[in-house]
Amino acid sequence: MTIQDSQNTPSSQSPMQPVYLVQGNNNTRVDDEIDLRELWDALWQGKFQIAAITAVFAIASVIIALMLPNIYRSEALLAPAEESQGGGLAALAGQFGGLASIAGINLSEGATDPTMVAIETLKSRRFIKTFIANHSLLVPLMAADSWNESTDELILDTDIYDSDNQQWVREVSAPLKPKPSDIEAHEVFIDEVLSVSQDKKSGLVTLSVDFYSPTLAKQWVDWLVTDLNNYMRSKDLKNAERTINYLTEQLNGTSIADMQTIFYQLIEEQTKTIMLANVRQHYVLEAIDPAVVPEEEVEPKRALICVLITLLGGFISVVYVLVRSFRRKES
């Protein structure tokens, strides 16, 4: 073995020496860390500034809370009206469903929950558009700013609507126009005014209206219930009359005894629908706890507003004092 080979063997290689990084001064890391005592000293020195800024925010929160208009909520508890026509159609569907489908008649239509249909109808653009137009609610809905409690009158925003000349004067960019569109009115009514929900266990429906005027809030709830029942009644009457005319034509055009039996029973069910629609005062939903004029507002939450704005002021003041103290230290 040569000298060169012996130098290349592992045993002859010298072990690698570890390399250590020596920090010149440990005070560098200490200076980068946040000294809690230093923070406390900075906050203590700026305690008067913190108190002053927080007090300004607290006073401003009270002013803002008092300037916000009151919002009142009137609500009614509704129960679904007794339903009898669906049971008859369901029985017919089980007995003559096959034959009826051959004749182009769908007996399963009566299985739809009328309460759910009524709730979705209540929130639909067509119904809301008709409701606003029939009761002339566009101006109070889109231009109201607050409510005068002493005179029980709405106060309109003069930048939106000129009540003297009865003109819309709001400034908007295209394609919007000074007069709010049906889509805008529907969005405001659904998002800010109307609230409807159904309890899944009891099936009861809660319908509420939030508005500046407690009197109008109660009145709008009553109008909604009445108009919804009338709307659903009119719709079912038209459908029943149209169905009866169609069934009568089919009855006169067939000589099959089973088909005639189906047509007679279907005509009987549709006739019951017309009778019930004309007799029932509350066709779909009946108020078991009618709406009343509310005495207390639901919004704004003035105490919560004051607390949140005051806390925000305290946070901002603390950040301001700390930043100012560190800048002084660096300079």
Which is it for strands 161-162 and 194-198: parallel, antiparallel or unpaired? unpaired
pLDDT tens track, the chain, 331 positions: 444 444 444 444 445 555 544 454 555 455 545 577 888 888 888 899 999 999 999 999 999 999 999 999 999 999 998 654 444 444 444 444 444 554 555 555 545 788 899 999 999 999 999 999 999 999 999 999 999 989 989 999 999 999 999 999 999 998 899 999 999 999 999 999 999 999 989 999 999 999 999 999 999 999 999 999 999 999 989 988 988 898 888 888 888 887 788 888 888 888 888 888 888 888 899 999 999 999 999 999 999 999 999 999 999 999 999 888 888 877 6
Which of these CATH numbers, 3.30.1490, 3.20.20, 1.10.287, 3.30.1890, describes 71-135+192-296?
A: 3.30.1890
Domain range annotation of the chain: 49-68+300-323, 71-135+192-296
Say which DSSP state 38 is in: H
Task: Read off the amino acid at residue 181.
Answer: S
Peptide bond just before 300 cis, omega within 30 deg = yes
CA angle centred on 61, ends 210 and 313, rounded to 5°: 130
152 burial level (CB within 10 Å; 0-12, 13-18, 19+)? exposed
